[in-house]
Chain A
Amino acid sequence: MNTILQRASRNFLWQHPWQLTLAILGIALGVAVVIAIDLAMESSLNSFKQASKAYSGTATHRIIASDGGLDEKLYTRLRVKQGITHLSALVTGYVKLAQTDAENFKLVGIDPFIEKSLHSGWQNGQKENFSPELLTRLMTEPNSILLSEKTAQRLQLHLNDKLSVVTVQGEQQLNIIGLLPGNDAVSEQVLAKLIITDIATAQEVLGLFGRLSSIEVGLVNDVSKTLAAIRSVLPGNVLLVSLDSQEQSLREMTRAFSINLKALGLLSLLIGIFLIYNTMTFLVMQRRRLIGSLRLLGVTRQQIFKLIIGEAFLLALIGTSIGIGLGVALGQGLLVLISGTINAIYFRIDSAPLMFTPMQIVKGMVLGLGATFLAVLLPAFEATRLSPVKVLARSQLEAGSRQLLKAVGLISFLLIAGGLSMALFSGKSINFGLASIFLILVGFGLLTPALTLLLMKFIEGFFGRFLGILRRLPVRMVSSEISRTGIAIAALMIAVSATIGMDLMIGSIRQTVAQWLHVSLPADLYISVPGDKVTANTALADHQLKEKIAHLDGVKMLSSVLQTKLFADGQLTKTSVYEINAKSKEGFIFKYKLDDGIWRRLENQQTVIVTEPYAYHRAIKIGQKILMKTDQGALGFEVIGISAEYSGDQGHLVMSRQNYLRYWPDLGYTGIGVYASAGADLKQLESRISQLLTAQQSVKSNVDIYNASMELFEQTFTITETLRWLSAAIAFVGVFSALMALQFERTRQLGILRAIGITSRQLTVLIISETGLMGLVAGLLAIPVGFIVAYVLIFVVYQRSFGWTMAFYFDSVVLYQGLALAFIAALLAGVFPALKMAQTHPAEALRSE
C-alpha cells in the first residue's frame, strides 16, 4: 500500500516541476542566508583567535597596556625576578607594502627561543625548513623575515628576495629567509596577512624601541599562584587578561551587530517558511481529489499525514542541502562585507578565512527541516482533517478558511499587541526588541487575508458599479480564493514592510549622522598624523609639526586630538584627548543642557566627557565616577557631560589634553585641526600644509572629511542593504511561486472563461490585473506596517544596539518605492502564468483537470 502511495506522490510531484523547484529554492535560499550570516560572523570573530595562534601558540592570557605603556623591562622583570615561565614577548605593528597597491601586513616580532608550547603551528611542525638554523638566522640577521608560502607566491617573491615596506621609520627592505607552510586552509589564510620576524627586527622596523605590544602568557600549573605573581609586578597602566575573556569582550562588542544581522537572516527564513507553506498547500490542494479517493479506498488519515510530511521532509532535505552549499558560497561573499564593517567600526581583523564547523551544518539542517516541518503542519492537517466526501468538494475549503479568518484575526491582534508591548517593556534587550518586530510582522501577516477581504469588498462596493463583469473579476478572484491569495499577499507584505522599515531606519540614521558630522567638524582643515602612537619618541616630531603649522600665514588657531586607549573601569577604552579652543567647543552636541563651566572643569579637574553609546551601555549618569588606571594607580574621573557620537557603538571618553598629560605619557597627536583666519585661501593653505607633511600624514578639508565619513557610513550599511535585498528576492520567489500555483490551479476555471468567449488577450489582462491588484494591496498594507517597524528599529532596536538616540526622518520616496516594489514584483510574477494560460487551448485547459 505504501509503495503505491509513494508512487502516487512521486508521480504527482514530477508533474509539477515548477512548484517543486520553487519550494526547494525557497528552503534553500532561507537556509542559505541564515547559514551565510552565521558563518561569516563566526569566521570574522574567530580570525582574532586564529591570528594569535599563528604566533603565540597555546597562550591563555595576555598582558596588555594602554597605548605607550608596555615597557620591555616588564618582561625581564617577570622572567628574571619573578621566575615566571611560558611567556612570549610580542612586538607587532602594521606595515604597508611599498608597491602601488599599498597592501597592509601585520608585522609580528617574536622571540623564537621560548617554551615550545608557546610556539605556533608552523614552528612546531616538523618541516625540514624550520630547523633551528633558520630561527637562528631570524634572530641574528637584521631585517630577516618569514612570509607565508601563499603570500610569497601571490607577490611573486622567492626565498632570499626582498620585500619593501613603509613604516614610520620610512621605507625598509626586508629579506625573506623562510617561507611558512600553512598546515591547513585556516592557518594558511591567517598567515597570509602576517610577516613573522624576530622581536629585535620588529622594534627596529617599527621604531618601537623599548616597548612591547603584548606579553602572551601560557599558564600551565599553579595557575592562581602564577597569576598573583604576575599581577604583583604589573604597573598601574598594565592589565592581565585571559584570551578567552578578551575574545569574549570582542564578541560582546559585536553582539549588537551580530544579533541584527542574524535577525535579517531569520527574516529570510521566515519568508522562506511562507514559501514552503504555500507550495505544500498547493500540492495538497491539487490532490484533494486524489486524497479523497485514497481515503475512500481505505487509506487512513495517518497514512495521508505521513505521506505529506514525508514529501515535505524530502523537499526540505534537498532544499536544505542546497541551502547549506549556497550558504557557504554566500558566506564567502558576506565575510568580506562583515569583516569590513567590523574593521571599520569595531576592531582590526587582519584576515578572516571562512571556517565552518559540523555544528553549524547541523544548525542549518535543523533550521531547514524545522522550518519546513512548521510550514507543512497546516496543509498536512488540512489534508487529513476533512472527511473523504468533503475533501472532494473544493468550495468547502474556502468556506472553512473564511471561518478561520476570525480566529486568525484575534490571534494576530494578540501578536501585534504583544509585539508592541514587548518592544516597550523589555528594558535594554536587543533580542526582545527584534522579537517584537517579528511578532508585529507575523501578526500583520496573519491579519493580511482579513484586511485584503475588507479592501476587496470596499473596492468592489465603491468601484464595482463603474466596472463591468470582466473588470470586477480580478477583485472577486482575489477575495474568493483568499486562502491562497491571502498568503501570497501576506508574504509580499512582510518583505516589503521590512524593506520600508529598514529604509526609513537607514535614512534616519543617515540624516542624524550627517547633522552630527556637520556640527562636529568645526575646523576648516584637518591633518591626520597616523602611526603607532605607542612610544613617546614620536611625540617630538608631532609637536614640531604643530608648531610649524601654527606659524603659517592664514592660520588663526589650532586644536588637536590624540586618539588613544586607556583602561577605564577595567577595560581598554578608546579615549580622545582634545586640545580645545573656543570654536572647537561647538563641535560637541550634549545630550543634556550644560553651562560653560564644563570646559573649565574639563581642563582643571579630574573629569571626562563620555559619548552617548558609552553612557548608554554602562548606564552612566552625569556625576558618576569612572575608575581609570594611571601610573599613579587607579583614579576616579567624574563624568561631567554626555555627548552625541555616531561613529561606533562602543562609545569613548573625551578628556582634555592638559588633564591627560598629568597622568599619562605624551604620545603626540593623531590629528590637528586648523582654523583659518577670515578670508584666508583654504586651497592655498592646504597645499602649504601638505608640504610640511610626511608620506603617511595627510591634510583634508572638513568637506572632504564629511564626505569620507558619509562614505564609510554607507559602507557599514552595505551588509544591511545586501541582506535586505536578499530577503526581498526570496519574497519575490515566494510571490512568484504562489501566484503561479494559483493560476495553474485555476486552469479549468480559466478554461471555462476562455470557452465562454473571453479572448486570450483579455485573459492575460485579467491575470495580470489580479496579481497587480494583489501587489497593490500588499504594498498599501506594507506602508503602515513598515512605519511601525521603522519606529521599533530606530527607537528600540538601534538605541539598544548602539546606544544612539536618533530623530525619525520621514522620507516619502521610501513609501512610493515600497509600493512600487510590491506592485511590480506581483505584476512580474503574473506575466509568466498569464502568457502560459493565454497560449493554452480552452479545450485542453478544461481537460487538464
Chain B
Amino acid sequence: MKPKWVVAILLLIVLGMVWRQTVLLPSNSRNVIDSNFRSTLAQNNDSFSVVSTKSYKGFSRAFKPQKFSFPSDHGPHNRFRSEWWYFTGNLNATQGRRFGYELTFFRSALKPDILESKSAWRTNQMYMAHLALTDVETNRFYTDERFSRAGNDLADASDKSYQVWLYDWSAKTEGEEDFPLRLHAKSVDFAIDLLLTSSKGLVLQGDQGLSRKSPEPGNASYYYSYPRLETEGMISVGGKQFSVTGTSWMDREWSTSALSNEQSGWDWFALQLSDNTELMFYQLRRKDGQLDGNSSGSYIKADNTKLPLKGHDVIIKTLDSWESPHSAITYPSRWRLSVPSHYLELEIVPLIKDQELNVSYRYWEGAVKVTGTKQGRVISGFGYVELNGYKS
C-alpha cells in the first residue's frame, strides 16, 4: 500500500509543478524593424503632397517680390504651404578623407488654418528632416529622416533668432547674430556637428528673392541663399570621428505652389568654384520630356554681385546615367554645363554614384566635383546636385 501512496504523492507534486509553470503568453505583436520612419507618412514616394491638401485655398502665395527682414524671415512662414531650410556641403577631413553632407528641414502646412487651443500639441504644421552623408573613400552613402508636428516644441523654427529644429536635429545660431550657425544631427551610425560661418553674405535669388517656377502667377517661391559658408566641425561615421573643414551652401525657400501641371521635376545645381564664385541653376523638366523655359539661376561673383541666368543662358548636356539598384530609377550622372555668356565650361561628376535618398520622399541629392575652364583658364570646385521627380 505505502509505495502506491508515495507514487500518488509524487504525482501530485508533479501535477503541482505543471500547474505552477508559467504559461506562454499569446503574442499578437509583430516585430517591426525601423531604422527610419519610412512609409510613416508616405507610401507613394511623394511624401508631403500626399498629406497636404491639393487646394491652395486659404494659403498665402508668392505673387510679387517682398522685402525680407532678418532674423524673422529665417523663421517659419506658416501661411505658406511648404518651406525648407537646406544645408549641403563638401568637407575635407584633416586626414584627407572627403565627405559630403545634407541636412534639410522641411515644413509643411497640412491645412491653411492656424488653430487656437490650450493644447500645445494642436497644430497643422508638420516638419520633416533629412540627413545624408557621403563618405567618398568607402563609397558609402548614409541617410536618415525624422518627422514631427510643430507642437510642444518638438519641431519648429524661430523668428526671433535663427533656429530650426526637429527633435534633436537642429540648425541654431550660437549667439546674437544669424551666423555662426551650428548644425547638429545624429543618426544611429553617423552624425554631424558643424559650425557654419558666412563669408560672402546672402543672395536673393530670382527677382529680388521671388523665384518663378512656371508662368502662372503665384507658382513661385521666396528664395534666398547663402552660397558660401565656411564650415568646420566633426563628423562621425562607422564609429570613427573626423575633424573636418569645408564649404557649405544654404538655401531657404517657401511657397504654396511651385510647379505647374506640365512640369515633372527639376535638376538643381549649386556649385562653389575655386575662384570664389558660385553658380546656382535649376533646370525644370516637363512631363513631355522638353526643357521648361522657366529654368533659372544665378552666377555670383567673388564680390557677391549676382548675375541672373535665364533658361537659355545655360546649356546642360547629360554625359552619363546611373540606374539605382534600390528604386530602378535611372538618373543622369555626369553633365557638361556651359554658360557661353560667361565663357564657362564645366564638367560635373558625382563623387559617388549612389547618392539616392531612400527615405519616404525619394530623390537624388549628392556631392559633385567640378572641373573645367573659365575664360580659358582652368577652374575647379565642388558642389551639390539635386535630381527631383524622376520615376522608374
Contacts and interface: CB of A to CB of B under 8 A. Distances in A.
Interface of A: 38, 42, 46, 49-50, 53, 57-58, 72-73, 75-76, 79-83, 85, 111, 113-117, 119, 121, 124, 131-133, 136, 139-140, 142, 183-184, 186-187, 198-200, 203-204, 209-210, 221, 262, 266, 355, 357-360, 363, 366-367, 370-371, 373-374, 377-378, 381, 404, 407, 411
Given A132-B50, A140-B111, A116 B40 contact: yes
B168 A203 contact: no
A58 B41 contact: no
Contacts of B14: 370
Nearest to A262: B19
Contact of B119 (A49, A209, A358): A209
B15 A367 contact: yes
Interface of B: 1-2, 4-5, 7-8, 11-12, 14-15, 18-19, 21, 23-26, 28-34, 37-43, 50-51, 110-111, 115, 117-124, 126, 147-149, 151-154, 165, 167-168, 186, 188
Contacts of B152: 72-73, 75-76
B11 A136 contact: no
A360 B29 contact: no
A203 B115 CA distance: 14
B144 to A, nearest CB: 10
Contacts of A79: 148, 154, 167-168
Contacts of A121: 28-30
Contact of A116 (B24, B32, B123): B32
B149 A374 contact: no
B19 A363 contact: yes
Interface centre among B11, B26, B33, B50 (most CB of A within 10 A): B26
Contacts, number: 156
A49 B148 contact: no
Given A132-B43, A363-B19, A142 B115 contact: yes
Nearest to A124: B32
A94 B154 CA distance: 27
28 contacts: A46-B25, A57-B32, A58-B29, A58-B32, A73-B153, A76-B154, A79-B148, A113-B40, A113-B147, A116-B34, A116-B38, A117-B32, A117-B34, A119-B32, A139-B110, A139-B149, A142-B117, A200-B117, A204-B118, A204-B122, A209-B118, A210-B120, A357-B25, A357-B26, A363-B18, A367-B15, A367-B18, A407-B2
A373 B11 contact: yes
A360 B12 CA distance: 18
A404 B1 contact: yes
Given A73-B152, A79-B167, A113-B40, 16 more contacts: A42-B23, A76-B153, A111-B121, A113-B148, A113-B149, A116-B34, A132-B41, A133-B51, A136-B126, A140-B110, A186-B26, A200-B151, A203-B118, A363-B18, A377-B8, A378-B4
A384 B89 CA distance: 93
A80 B153 contact: yes
Contacts of B41: 113, 132
A253 B207 CA distance: 71
Nearest to B18: A366
Nearest to A76: B153
Nearest to B121: A200
Chain B interface helix/strand/loop/mixed: loop
Contact of B165 (A57, A80, A371, A381): A80
A115 B145 CA distance: 11
A80 B148 CA distance: 11
A115 B34 contact: yes
B147 to A, nearest CB: 5
A588 B124 CA distance: 54
A690 B29 CA distance: 48
A670 B165 CA distance: 42
Contacts of A358: 24
A141 to B, nearest CB: 9
Nearest to A87: B167
B107 to A, nearest CB: 14
Interface centre among B19, B24, B148 (most CB of A within 10 A): B19
B43 A131 contact: yes
Contact of A133 (B50, B124, B165): B50
Contact of A136 (B21, B110, B154): B110
Contacts of A367: 15, 18-19
A73 B120 CA distance: 10
B168 A142 contact: no
Contacts of B25: 42, 46, 49, 357
Nearest to B167: A79
A528 B259 CA distance: 62
Contacts of A111: 121, 149
Contacts of A131: 43, 50
List 9 A-B pairs, minimum CB-CB distance, nearest first: A83-B168, A200-B121, A203-B119, A200-B122, A116-B34, A200-B119, A136-B51, A359-B24, A117-B32
